[in-house]
Chain A
Amino acid sequence: MSAPTTMRSDEELLRLTLAGDERAFTDLYRRRQAGIFRFALQMCGSESVAEDVVQEVFMALIREGRRFDPARGTLSSYLYGVARNQVLRRLERDRHFVASLDADEGREAADDAHDARPDPLSELARAETVASVRQAVLALPAHYREVIVLCELQEMSYAEAAGALGCAVGTVRSRLHRARALLTDKLAEQRARGGEERPARESFSGARCFA
């Protein structure tokens, strides 16, 4: 008797998926879609883009899944790699996407977050910090942003991130160091501008997209 699909490895679920097992595809999708969605969301700052990316990643799996080679890495890395390609393509196409986000939407989301917290003062500081970091992450160059997203926000190991990015572990490590330094600079710039206006209200135009 075969094991339930939820207990199978990603690779086994893919094999069943390619054989036409809808249950296996559903389980694989449910296991992996949230991470892919968050990765795309954190990279692009847009839920609609993230939604499209998830759809295209799994469409690619349906159609091109036979091209996955387990010898080259895990299925998870493969999916993140496809997602990354989709995201980079969209970032290239919508280069000014972040700047075009509506600042009012960011304010509303930040306010909503504040209202939902039991300790308004501490949560205000936390929400503003989060908003500032999100904005700073979106302002990073893509190759630094992706290591921040994978290693810090997705909490991947260097090896996992390297698999998804198709580069060496040492490259991930050095990029992460540089990315954190850049992030520190971006946050310092935000603080410097914060004297004129509240940081969260001024800088985090993309809060709604992350909500």
Chain B
Amino acid sequence: MNCQEFSEHATEIARAQVMDAAARERALGHAEECGPCAARLERERAMSAALRATAESFGEVAAPARVESALLAAFRTQHAAPQETVNAQTLAPVATHGNVRAFAPRFGRRARVAVAASAIAASLILAFVVVRRAPQQQAEPSKQLASQTPPVTPAQSTPAEASVPPSPQDGPVEDSPAGDRAERPVNKGNEGGRPARVQRAAGGQSYKKSLAGAALAFNIDGGQAVFAEGDAAASESEAASLRGDAAALTDFVPISAGASSAPLDGGQVVRVEAPRAALASLGLPVDPTRANEKVKADLLLGHDGTAHAIRLVR
């Protein structure tokens, strides 16, 4: 064995690794005859001893108990509420590495893409529902809209059971495009959680309700959009943001295809345009003499993009 070959085995010998016995004997034999390689082996052994002492110096160090408590709280929240409502954007996966996904800071490009995809899915769902309901509307021309629209009733708010898992990072739920929008943080009482925000686009083109940590919930109850949330005051504020919307002409009307009387843990309201005739088929009051005109409506979507309710707006 020469010095080059010896160097390939010196570390394994010093680390007491399992290796070919014959190769080990040859390497040790070489070290007995070669001063530099003997010194090399001695240095490797000293390094291994120093590293072992360093490893031992860490002892039984472990994460403090508060980490376990925080994680258990997050676990309970996760399993108390439907998936994806808790800390929805805490860890946005951005890359894979073998079996491991790398996690980027929240609110990255994927989150924005998800919101955009959700809006697109909502549009497609509305189109599908409109097409499906159109024949029914022709059979029921009696429903009227507009000036006879009943006043929007106050929404209710109920405490939510869910809480938000603590996270070392906090930040906005979603990047906001420029414009004269108003943002309303509603994540009161959620320690360590990200605030949920209501965003109103300039020009009233769309509303989005993005949920991260808070278990903010919609419920369609008798034509009203009802919020359920951990903080009653915040919930009331959220409800007011919709019921106080001067643009609303009707209450939310459940859409049978995806509607449920159960509370929706999160979702968003997307403003769309559709023919009056199509909206009438969903049970909204529409003036038949203006059936060909387009009107604006708010579509209430669940996290999965399913349309749960609709209302007319100015």
Binding site for B on A (CB under 8 A): 17, 20, 22, 25-26, 29-30, 33-34, 36-38, 41-42, 50-52, 54-56, 58-60, 62-64, 67-69, 72-73, 77-78, 81-82, 84-86, 89, 113, 126, 129-130, 132-134, 137, 148, 152-155, 163, 166, 176-177, 180, 183-184, 187, 210
Cβ of A201 to closest chain B Cβ, rounded Å: 17
Among the listed A41, A51, A72, which residue makes an inter-chain contact with B58, where contact means beta carbons less than 8 Å apart? A41
Bound-state Cα–Cα, A133 to B49, Å:
11
Bound-state Cα–Cα, A183 to B44, Å:
11
Question: Residues of A contacting B52 with CB < 8 Å?
Answer: 152
Question: Residues of B contacting A25 with CB < 8 Å?
Answer: 71-72, 75
B203 within 8 A of A: no
Cβ of B250 to closest chain A Cβ, rounded Å: 38
Question: Residues of A contacting B43 with CB < 8 Å?
Answer: 184
Bound-state Cα–Cα, A58 to B71, Å:
7
Q: Are A26 and B53 in contact (CB under 8 A)?
A: no
**Cβ-closest chain B residue relative to A73:** B99
Bound-state Cα–Cα, A42 to B87, Å:
29
Bound-state Cα–Cα, A52 to B67, Å:
8
Q: Are A137 and B54 in contact (CB under 8 A)?
A: yes
Bound-state Cα–Cα, A37 to B63, Å:
6
Question: Residues of B contacting A81 with CB < 8 Å?
Answer: 97-100
Bound-state Cα–Cα, A67 to B210, Å:
24
- Which A-B residue pairs are the 9 nearest by beta carbons? A81-B100, A166-B98, A72-B99, A34-B62, A85-B102, A20-B79, A152-B51, A37-B63, A54-B63
Provide the B44-83 mask, 1 if CB < 8 A to any CB of A, else 0: 1001101111110110111110011011101110110000
Question: Residues of A contacting B72 with CB < 8 Å?
Answer: 22, 25-26
- Count residues of B near A (Cβ-Cβ below 8 Å): 45
A-B pairs with CB below 8 Å: how many? 148
Cβ of A15 to closest chain B Cβ, rounded Å: 14
Question: Residues of B contacting A72 with CB < 8 Å?
Answer: 98-99
Binding site for A on B (CB under 8 A): 11, 43-44, 47-48, 50-55, 57-58, 60-64, 67-68, 70-72, 74-76, 78-79, 86-87, 90-91, 93, 97-104, 165-168
Q: Are B75 and A62 in contact (CB under 8 A)?
A: yes
Known: A34-B61, A55-B70, A126-B53. A184 touches B98 (CB 8 A): no
Among the listed B53, B61, B71, B76, which residue makes an inter-chain contact with A59, where contact means beta carbons less than 8 Å apart? B71
21 A–B contacts, CB within 8 A, in A order: A22-B76, A25-B75, A34-B61, A37-B62, A51-B63, A54-B63, A55-B67, A55-B166, A56-B167, A58-B71, A60-B101, A62-B74, A81-B100, A82-B103, A89-B103, A89-B104, A133-B51, A152-B52, A183-B47, A187-B50, A210-B57
